Amino acid sequence: MQSFDLIVVGAGAAGLFCAGMAGQGGLRVLLLDHAEKIAEKIRISGGGRCNFTNREASPANFLSENPHFCRSALARYSAQDFIGLVKRHGIGFHEKHKGQLFCDDSSEQIIQMLLRECEAGGVQRWQPCTVADVRPLGNGDFELDSSAGPLRTRRLVIATGGLSIPKIGASDWGLRLAERLGHRIVTPRPALVPLTFSAEDWAPFVELAGLSLPVYVSTGSSKQRGRFHEDLLFTHRGLSGPAILQISSYWQEGQALSLDLAPDTDLGQALLQAKSRSRKQLGNELADILPNRLAQAWLSRLGLSPSKPIAEAKDKELQELADKLQAWSLSPNGSEGWRKAEVMRGGVDTRDLSSQSLESKKLPGLHFIGEVVDVTGWLGGYNFQWAWSSAAACATAA
Ligand code: FDA
215 by DSSP, 3-state: which? Answer: strand
Q: Residue 251 — very low, low, confident or very high, per pLDDT cuts 50/70/90?
A: very high
Half-sphere exposure of 292 (CA within 13 A, CB side): 2
**What pLDDT, in 10s, does the model give residues 114-169?**
999 999 999 999 999 999 999 999 888 999 999 999 999 999 999 999 999 988 88
Q: Averaged over 74-103, what is the pLDDT?
A: 97
Atom 32 of ligand 1, nearest CA residue: 45
**Residue in 319, 271, 267, 261 with CA at minimum distance from that of residue 291:** 261
> Can you tell me the distance from the alpha carbon of 111 to that of 100, in angstroms, rounded to the nearest whole number?
18
Position with higher pLDDT, 38 vs 349:
349
Atom 45 of ligand 1, nearest CA residue: 383
Q: How high is the pLDDT of residue 222?
A: 66
Of ligand 1's listed atoms, the one at least distance from the Cα of 129 is 20
Q: How high is the pLDDT of residue 22?
A: 98
> Residues 259, 330: contact at Cβ < 8 Å?
yes
Q: Which residues line ligand 1 (CB under 6 A)?
A: 9-15, 33-35, 38-39, 41, 44-46, 50-51, 130-131, 159-161, 164-165, 169, 171, 173, 342-343, 370-371, 381-384, 387
Of ligand 1's listed atoms, the one at least distance from the Cα of 383 is 25
* Ligand 1 midpoint to CA 317 (Å): 50
Least confident range of 170-179, 190-199, 224-233: 224-233
* Ligand 1 midpoint to CA 390 (Å): 14
* Ligand 1 midpoint to CA 45 (Å): 9
Q: How high is the pLDDT of residue 387?
A: 98
* Ligand 1 midpoint to CA 42 (Å): 7
Q: How high is the pLDDT of residue 1?
A: 87
ipTM > 0.95 for the complex: yes
Q: Which residues contact 300 (CB under 8 A, 6 or more apart)?
A: 204, 306
46 by DSSP, 3-state: which? Answer: helix
Please return the burial class of 291, using the count of CB atoms within 10 Å of its CB with bins 0-12, 13-18 and 19+: middle
- Count of CB atoms within 10 A of residue 294's CB? 19
Half-sphere exposure of 261 (CA within 13 A, CB side): 25
Candidate of 9, 40, 45 to mutate for ligand 1, largest count of ligand atoms within 8 Å of Cβ: 45
Q: Is the pLDDT of residue 102 over 90?
A: yes
> Can you tell me the distance from the alpha carbon of 316 to that of 313, in angstroms, rounded to the nearest whole number?
8
**Residue in 287, 308, 288 with CA at minimum distance from that of residue 298:** 287
b/e map of 112-142 (b: 16 or more CB within 10 Å)? Answer: ebbbebbeebebebeeebbbeebebeeeeeb
Atom 19 of ligand 1, nearest CA residue: 34
| Percent of residues, the chain, with pLDDT higher than 70 | 100
Q: Residue 220 — very low, low, confident or very high, per pLDDT cuts 50/70/90?
A: confident
Widest pairwise Cα distance in the chain: 86
Q: Is the pLDDT of residue 27 over 70?
A: yes
DSSP state of 373: B
Considering just the CA atoms, what is the radius of gyration of the chain in Å? 25
**Residue in 339, 338, 332, 398 with CA at minimum distance from that of residue 26:** 398
Q: Name residue 343's beta-bridge partners.
A: 191
How far is CA 169 from its chain centroid?
17
Q: Is the pLDDT of residue 221 over 80?
A: no
**Residue in 345, 398, 391 with CA at minimum distance from that of residue 370:** 391
Q: What is the mean pLDDT of the chain?
A: 96
* Ligand 1 midpoint to CA 314 (Å): 55
Q: Residue ranges of the alpha helices (H) in 181-332?
A: 199-202, 242-248, 267-277, 282-287, 292-301, 315-326
Q: Is the pLDDT of residue 223 over 80?
A: no
> Can you tell me the distance from the alpha carbon of 357 to that of 337, in angstroms, rounded to the nearest whole number?
32
Q: Averaged over 190-209, what is the pLDDT?
A: 95
Q: How high is the pLDDT of residue 198?
A: 96
Atom 50 of ligand 1, nearest CA residue: 161
